Structure 1
Amino acid sequence: MKYGEVIHARLHKRINRFIAEVLIDGKLEQVHIKNTGRLKELLRPDAEVILERSGNPNRKTRFSLIAAAKNGSWVNIDSQAPNTVAFDALKEGKITEFGSVKLVKREVTFGASRFALYFEQKDAKGFIEVKGVTLEKGGIALFPDAPTTRGTKHVLELANAALEGYTCVILFVVQMKAARTFVPHREMDAAFADALLEASRQGVQILAYDSIVKEDELVLDKALPVYLA
């Protein structure tokens, strides 16, 4: 996915979940953060960040914070981007586990949950739940970076759909190139890790792909090994 006009800035401080204060050409300005996660290892004082200019003249903030530098590379933090890049990659046949699909829809409801993608192939119908990953430690991509009861609910609902005959997948979009593997972050949320393991046993496929992160673009790239524990 491509962004519009982007600029570089320096993070001064994060004010709350939604707002950060940055330095643009030496002047302080408040910007919207496109991710409500903790992001402690990324949104540090003086971190280099990328901002996208808003096209809405009525918005209180002129820019949205979409990426932060870590160890010389960019990490995309836009929580809306993973669904878009997964949708694009699936339509273009770039997710090797699927190949070509004849139909893809976004935001489709099943039971009490709404999944990111619904797809149809010649002999299958299914759902894909997409999770964006911004946390990496020692080459290991970890999700979640904060407890997520909503995420656990989605995983269990997807397992129910698998039992009804749908092809079901959880796709972790790792929004960086630094990771070599993906592991659920059990220390942060044991219930989510347990739900993921149980869903896998019930036939839900667990995938992780890293991404190419440019200043104004995010593209799904290569599959990563997944270790459930």
Structure 2
Amino acid sequence: MHYKKVVKGEFIKRPNRFIAHVLIDGKEEVVHVKNTSRCRELLIPGAKVYLEDKREVPGRKTGYSVISVYKDDVLVNIDSQAPNTVIAEALENNKIDGLLDFSLLKREVTYGKSRFDIFMEREKERIFIEVKGVTLENSGVSAFPDAPTERGAKHVKELADAVAEGYRGVIFFLIKMQKPDLFTLNWKMDPVFAKAVCEAKSKGVEVLAYDSLVTPEEILIGKKLPIDLEPCCVG
């Protein structure tokens, strides 16, 4: 996924989930944050950020959108709309083992009361894919979510229902940086979601995690990461 007209800035503050104040070329600008999650460990005063210049887009309230931020020396993409596009592009380019050579690919497909991010057909398989973008990382371990997600647990349960009806179901965690060596679930933050993922996996839903190659102008799928769900599967 490629961004056009990227500029750099320095994060100042975030008064609410939707906007932030960023210093761009010596001027304080009110900008859009393309992620409503907390991102507290990322968006800290003085952090180096990259923004997409949207000043030529008619009707916008802000001229820029924050798309990535440096955490130490690692660039983290925080654009919540990016993961679906990155995974779709990776599928189209046969970058994901086990999900190669599809005959049909659609995005935002309704099943039951849920809308899954991606639907694809390959050979005799019908596959629903639910994509989750991950920005939380600590000591080489990435985790999801960084805030409670009631809707996320609902989607996971309905993905398991789809598997019971003969579909193939995949929960795809895209870690939006290249630092982590492992992915796990944030059991302490959202035990309901963690339990839902574990139960879905026991019913045949597949769980995948990949890191990303992130530059100021681009985010691409990286390598497959090992997954440890054990903490959420006990007790």
Q: TM-score, normalized by length of structure 2?
A: 0.96
1:58 shift after superposition: 2.2
Counterpart for residue 28 of structure 1:
28
Equivalent positions of 1:151-190 (< 5 A) are 151-190=152-191
Cα distance in 1, alignment partners of residues 189 and 159 from structure 2: 21
Cα distance in 2, alignment partners of residues 218 and 210 from structure 1: 10
Counterpart for residue 76 of structure 1:
77
Map Cα deviations across residues 169-194 of structure 1 (whole Å, 9 max, x no partner): 00001000011111010010000000
Counterpart for residue 42 of structure 2:
42
Question: Is residue 2 of structure 1 aligned with residue 5 of structure 2?
Answer: no
Counterpart for residue 57 of structure 1:
58
Alignment RMSD (CA, Å): 0.7
Equivalent positions of 1:105-120 (< 5 A) are 105-120=106-121
1:101 shift after superposition: 1.0
Question: Is residue 193 of structure 1 aligned with residue 198 of structure 2?
Answer: no
Counterpart for residue 145 of structure 2:
144
Cα distance in 2, alignment partners of residues 155 and 211 from structure 1: 23
| Secondary structure of the structure 2 residue equivalent to 1:51 | strand
- Structure 1 runs not aligned, ≥5 long: none
Question: Is residue 218 of structure 1 aligned with residue 219 of structure 2?
Answer: yes
In the alignment of these two chains, the number of paired residues is 229
Question: Is residue 121 of structure 1 aligned with residue 122 of structure 2?
Answer: yes
Cα distance in 2, alignment partners of residues 112 and 99 from structure 1: 28
Return the letter of the residue paired with 2:73.
G
Counterpart for residue 88 of structure 1:
89
Map Cα deviations across residues 143-189 of structure 1 (whole Å, 9 max, x no partner): 00000000000000000001111010000010000111110100100
Return the letter of the residue paired with 1:179.
P
What stretches of structure 1 move > 2 A for 4+ residues in a row? Answer: none
| Secondary structure of the structure 1 residue equivalent to 2:45 | coil
Q: TM-score, normalized by length of structure 1?
A: 0.99
Return the letter of the residue paired with 1:105.
K
Cα distance in 1, alignment partners of residues 58 and 30 from structure 2: 15
Cα distance in 1, alignment partners of residues 93 and 111 from structure 2: 25
| Secondary structure of the structure 2 residue equivalent to 1:87 | helix
Identity fraction in percent: 52
- Structure 2 runs not aligned, ≥5 long: none
